[in-house]
Amino acid sequence: MRLCHQGFILYSSGRLVIKLENPQAFKDFGETVAAGDIGAARKLISMYEDKFDDTETVLPERPDEAVVEKWLHKVRSVNL
């Protein structure tokens, strides 16, 4: 549930939201699925598939690989 929620926000707004407004709802959902209610997971995934299909993304077609590569090299050099 958390990954679907965060992924959809990223897809639709370009923002990566880490802090959840209602973390208990996500915990409760996880416990429901862990208890064997696979139907709840299927229903949630189906709902998010529809939301993704009905929403135009703000994300670029391709990532800016040069920027990511530069950042990665910087992180590696700082943490050697």
Nearest 5°: the CA angle 7, 2, 26 is 155
Range of the domain at 44: 2-78
pLDDT, average across residues 20-40: 95
Confidence at residue 18, expressed as pLDDT on a 0 to 100 scale: 94
- Is residue 25 predicted with pLDDT exceeding 90? yes
pLDDT, average across residues 29-54: 96
- Is residue 20 predicted with pLDDT exceeding 90? yes
Confidence at residue 80, expressed as pLDDT on a 0 to 100 scale: 83
d(CA 72, CA 67): 9
Confidence at residue 44, expressed as pLDDT on a 0 to 100 scale: 97
Describe the crossing of helices 23-34 and 38-53 by its angle, rounded to 10 degrees: 130
pTM for this prediction: 0.78
Confidence at residue 4, expressed as pLDDT on a 0 to 100 scale: 97
CA distances from 4 to 31, 32, 80 (A): 16, 16, 34
Q: What is the CA radius of gyration of the chain?
A: 17
As for how many domains the chain has, the answer is 1
